Chain A
Amino acid sequence: MIDVTGLRVVLPPSTVALDGVDLSVRPGEFVVILGPSGAGKTTFLRTLNRLVEPTAGSVRINGRAVTGAAPPELRAVRREVGMIFQQFNLVRRLSVLDNVLTGRLGYVASVASVAGRFPEQDRVLARQCLEQVGLSHLADRRADTLSGGEQQRVAIARALAQSPAVILADEPTASLDPALTDSIMGALRRINVDRGLTLVVSQHQLATALEYATRIVGFRAGRIVFDGRPTELTPRAVERIYADHAP
């Protein structure tokens, strides 16, 4: 589903964020990326849909080349890849429903959408996605009037509205009250189990990673230093990921 080879990212002026990453994710996996801050987790996720331009290496998602793709092909890949951010990144002044509808932008005619018009079936789909995250009753509220946990669930609904094959989530619970971790991670697991979507989620909490992942990939200093099932993550392996950082 996701094939990454030799991925290298040098951020200006000369920070090596990813230093030769190879990874192959199979359909339906729930991959948790683990690692200390600065290990390259965020850069890795953002390179998968080319929000960050890689310096070298290649990324293929669902059989399509991401790296080297011309703008129309890149947009076609991106619409199949939902993304969830640590800071939710909703458009504050738009309503909850309009935020979910932006998940359909890759499918609608550019001109009509700029006028703010979406096809009726897209509106129906957006409402269904909101229902799945349990927020139908907030559809008409302005996005920035919601709590953090609610905003992240709207962001999940936006990603679902893309009818994606893959969802990337960058530390989706890090900005939230720890009590909300299970509500967000649980919603992601349901998507994984019920819809069979492939998930790649970065996490800095070891316990959460162990509870939800079907596969754990450990990053350290821009390289993969562990790749295996949660049961294989021995104290020694944890040591290798975090070295002198406390997990």
Chain B
Amino acid sequence: MRRAVAFVVLMALAWAAWDTGADPVRLIRGLPWLLEFVRRMMPPDLRVLPAAVAGAVTTVEIALLGTAVAAVLALPLGFVSARNVAAPPIFHAARAALNFLRSVDTLVYALVFVAAVGLGPFPGVLAVIAYTTTSLAKLYSEAIEGIERGPVDAITATGATRLQVLRFGVLPQVLPLFLSYVLYRLETNIRAATVLGFVGAGGIGFYLQTYLRLIDYPAASTVLLVTVAMVIAVDFVSSRLRQRLV
């Protein structure tokens, strides 16, 4: 049985390698071109630094605003998709809807929203909201399912309403986890938002794509360096905050 599974997995991988044209020799032949690419990027063209920084600020704004709105929108969704809080029919419907919506990535949402509201950072914000709401709702619901039953029983026994039980029995248990998930999502959204500009949804990705198209590699390298600095800075601040929560 085990051998049969191993055989099937190996065959699938071999087929995938053949089908994608994966070829180490091609990679080795391409290496000099890679180095040439890096060489042409040097030295970075610092004249585009103000534009790159402005793009980075827009990207951070997209991620911040999108994550913040999603963090709130995901709250009711998280509760209705938690098995131990929602009634079974509601729970199953909510879970199914979340799984369906979550299968679409931020970039795909961005394409849709650019078509709907036009170019610029706003469709980027909408895309971040759409994806992050569903993914946070899933994380929230799992946190809710992991709570201690005891305090919930105790609050229920005081004659509290369902809403009060959620507020006093459930929320204090899950809030630190929720905040930690939101910060984690902010970190991943910064990365996701850097490529949103590729499809016209604003931010630093727009500059990267533009300079690459213009074959202005020194300018593109400045944009890349700013991107790296931005991601590292946000990760640093966010992980510090998360450590203090747990």
Contact = CB atoms under 8 A, between A and B. Distances in A.
Contact of B150 (A79, A85, A106, A107): A85
Given A91-B169, A93-B172, A102 B155 contact: yes
Interface stretch (B39-47, B70-78, B159-167, B208-216): B159-167
The main secondary structure of chain B at its interface with chain A is helix
Contacts of A94: 168, 172
Contact of A81 (B157, B161, B176): B157
A51 B156 contact: yes
A106 B168 contact: no
Contacts of B159: 75-80, 105-107, 162
B154 interface: yes
Given A93-B173, A114-B163, A51 B157 contact: yes
A107 B156 CA distance: 13
Given A85-B153, A155-B154, A106 B172 contact: no
B146 interface: no
B118 interface: no
Contacts of B175: 93
A104 B168 CA distance: 12
A94 B155 CA distance: 13
B158 A102 contact: yes
A78 B155 CA distance: 10
B160 A89 contact: no
A158 B154 contact: yes
Given A105-B159, A114-B164, A162-B159, A85 B172 contact: no
Contact of A75 (B150, B154, B161, B168): B161
Given A91-B168, A93-B172, A102-B168, A75 B160 contact: yes
A49 interface: yes
Interface size grouping (class) on chain B: 20 to 34
Interface in A39-64: 49, 51
Nearest to B161: A110
Contacts of B172: 91-94
A155 B158 CA distance: 11
Given A110-B163, A114-B164, A90 B157 contact: no
Contact of A91 (B155, B156, B161, B176): B155
Nearest to B175: A93
B151 interface: yes
Contact of A78 (B151, B158, B163, B176): B158
Interface of B: 150-151, 153-161, 163-164, 167-169, 172-173, 175-176
10 nearest CB pairs, A to B: A106-B159, A79-B159, A89-B150, A78-B159, A89-B154, A105-B160, A83-B157, A75-B159, A93-B172, A91-B151
